[in-house]
Each structure stands twice: as structure tokens, then as C-alpha cells.
Amino acid sequence: MKKVIVCRCEDITEEDVVKAIDEGYTDLEELRKKLRIGMGPCQGRVCIQLVMKILEKRTGKKVPKISIPTSRPPIVPVPLGTLASDKNEKKG
């Protein structure tokens, strides 16, 4: 198997995902906890669809039957400068 990067944020390869599935991690939430897929800066916007396709192929489950993890705030990336600025702080 070629070394194909599935999750660039966490440097997870297709081989890592397949190995975890073969070890019994057969849903997306389990894979996230084991491999940290979708926990990097992109929050899964890049890798979740790829992992779901691998899961579908290896387990025979159709994509709609694979539970998709819930998004947690912030839904979109927030620039560090926004978080660091004091513009929105109450003056007291």
C-alpha cells in the first residue's frame, strides 16, 4: 500500500486508518479517539470524508449509516488576533 496521507493536520496515513479498522475500530468516533483524525486545525473539513470512504469500503457500511461526529464551536476557524484583541471586552 502506498503511503497516502489522509489527515494532513495529524499526519495520519491511509495505512494507519486501515490498520485501526482491522483492529476493530469501526466507526468514525472511535477512529477519531484513536488516531486524532479531525482534531487538527481543519477540524475534519479535509479528512473526514476520506476516512468515511475508507470505512465504507472496509466495513461494508454505507456512509449515511456511519455516524458523523458533531462539530464543536468554533465551527469556522477564528484568527488568533481576534481572540487576543480586547475590543469586545467590557470596560469596567
Distance CA 54, CA 25 (A): 12
Q: What is the mean pLDDT of the chain?
A: 83
**Quick check: 54 pLDDT over 60?**
yes
Confidence of residue 51 (pLDDT cuts 50, 70, 90): very high
User: Which segments of 1-92 are extended strands (E)?
Assistant: 5-7, 12-13
Strand, helix or coil at 25?
coil
> Domains along the chain?
5-84 (1.10.10.1100)
pTM for the whole structure: 0.69
Confidence of residue 57 (pLDDT cuts 50, 70, 90): very high
Distance CA 5, CA 13 (A): 4
Quick one: pLDDT at residue 23? 96
Supply the angle between the helices 28-35 and 48-59 in degrees, to the nearest 10: 120
Gap between the terminal Cα atoms of the chain = 61
Average pLDDT over residues 5-34: 93
